[in-house]
Chains A and B, each alone.
Chain A
Amino acid sequence: MLNRLGKQTLLFRNRPKVVGSYSVVGPKEGRGNFGKFFDKILEDDLFGEKSYEAAESKMLKLAITEAINNAKINKDEIDALFAGDLMNQIISSSFAARKLDIPYLGLFGACSTMAESLIMGSCYVDGGFARYAACATGSHFSSAEKQFRFPLELGTQRPPTSQWTVTGTGCTILGNTSTSNIYIENATIGKVVDWNVTDANNMGAAMAPAAMSTLKAHLDDTGRTPEDYDLILTGDLGKLGSEILMDLMEYNGYKIGNNYNDCGQMIFSNTQKTFMGGSGCGCGASILNSYIYSRMRNNELKSVLFIATGALMSTVSSQQGNSIPSIAHAVSIKIEGSK
């Protein structure tokens, strides 16, 4: 019996549970719209380290260890760690993993990594390959600026379509126990989509077609409509990208709007001058692992379709004039007893 629905969707029959979670964010994110939901807000985004890359790694490690504590299990019971980030050769994740002593698989899906790690963790737990699996990702504004854009002190203006990389990490612990009523129901793995957007300052427009493709595939595979979810939540399309996604879905005959939102659009307040909102792995990761799970635990949300989107380009490909290929993965998260 195949554990699949349609062409792209995996069905997790054993219902891997979300048994623990933790989120860490920087000071700016703490002052944003979700400050009271995050588990830890740093006062200084250097976090006592010598470099922003080291700070990012330390934030990831903190999210993982505290999520394990939050799940009230022993670290030795974690049989697999899935993590990724935006740095070249995913150093933040691997460097966080080197002191954790947990079997580790590094992932790269750009900003889609939260969904990617949840999918891999769910496969492991569902298939009986792990008692518990940790799924983590994060990003850091200052390290991302340095790698993808300009030195922090360079006096340039940010283009109006740009997004602000979120300084934040998040970790979800999945396990096959009955201690939690939040579970991963199924997941749709996206295809790489490229509609020839070349502007690296307009990621939302580059990634929206990927989100559309995955959302459509998910609805086709599961035979559902968008209304079947209390919330459809994309990772970091930002204000422009999420408007584009709504238009694209409408063009394809689906109406999303009332139950749709985007982490990038939500995370910062309007006064924080981030133009199109937040972006980065940490954007979806920090919101999912704080606000979303907390509302699910309180029964305010019963079914959430989390779609993390990622732009799969590098500085080299951008400089060579390549367009931006994008990907999106969807994870259906539900609470027991919901339809």
Chain B
Amino acid sequence: MFDPIMYLKVFAIGGLVCLIGQILIITTKMTSARILVSFLLLGVALEALGLFQPIKEFAGSGITIPIIGFGASLAHGAIDAGNTMGLLGVFTGGLTATAAGIAAAVLAGYIVGLIFNSKTKK
């Protein structure tokens, strides 16, 4: 807990992931939806290849906070539940593992949408 070295690693890896994303935006003119999808799928792939866990142990939030972590949780959930429950687990596992995030985003988005109005850019 509160280990400065860990925070350095989180900052470095988290920043690096975003930097790679920025390079992609500049070179390919990708919109944010495509960037999000690409990095999510990257997370799924890393988890499927067994590479996500070692990175997570090294960088903690540096890799779980980026959308890569969301993709990895989806895949991890599907694989885990598949092992215990079979095919049905493959269907339920991914969304179960990420339910908190999706539910929070939907609820927060809904409430914010109810309260606020869009403001013009300056």
Chain A interface residues toward B at CB < 8 A = 26, 28, 45-46, 52, 141-142, 145, 150-157, 159, 167, 199, 201
Question: Which secondary structure dominates where chain B touches chain A?
Answer: loop
Q: For residue A155, which residue of chain B has the nearest CB?
A: B32
Task: From the candidates A28, A152, A156, name the one contacting B118 in the complex (CB within 8 A).
Answer: A152
- What's the Cα separation between A151 and B113 when bound, in Å? 12
B37 to chain A, nearest CB (A): 15
- What's the Cα separation between A199 and B121 when bound, in Å? 23
B25–A142 touching, CB < 8 Å: no
- Interface hits, B68-105 → A, CB 8 Å: none
Question: Which secondary structure dominates where chain A touches chain B?
Answer: loop
Residues of chain A with a CB closer than 8 A to B118's CB: 142, 151-153
A-B contacts, 14 of them at CB < 8 A, read A26-B120, A45-B120, A52-B120, A142-B120, A142-B121, A150-B31, A152-B118, A152-B119, A152-B121, A153-B118, A156-B32, A157-B25, A159-B29, A199-B29
Residues of chain A with a CB closer than 8 A to B119's CB: 152-153
B105 to chain A, nearest CB (A): 14
A157 to chain B, nearest CB (A): 7
Task: From the candidates A46, A141, A201, name the one contacting B121 in the complex (CB within 8 A).
Answer: A141
Q: For residue A273, which residue of chain B has the nearest CB?
A: B122
- What's the Cα separation between A159 and B119 when bound, in Å? 21
Residues of chain B with a CB closer than 8 A to A154's CB: 32
Task: From the candidates B31, B32, B120, name the one contacting A141 in the complex (CB within 8 A).
Answer: B120
Q: For residue A28, which residue of chain B has the nearest CB?
A: B122
- What's the Cα separation between A201 and B121 when bound, in Å? 18
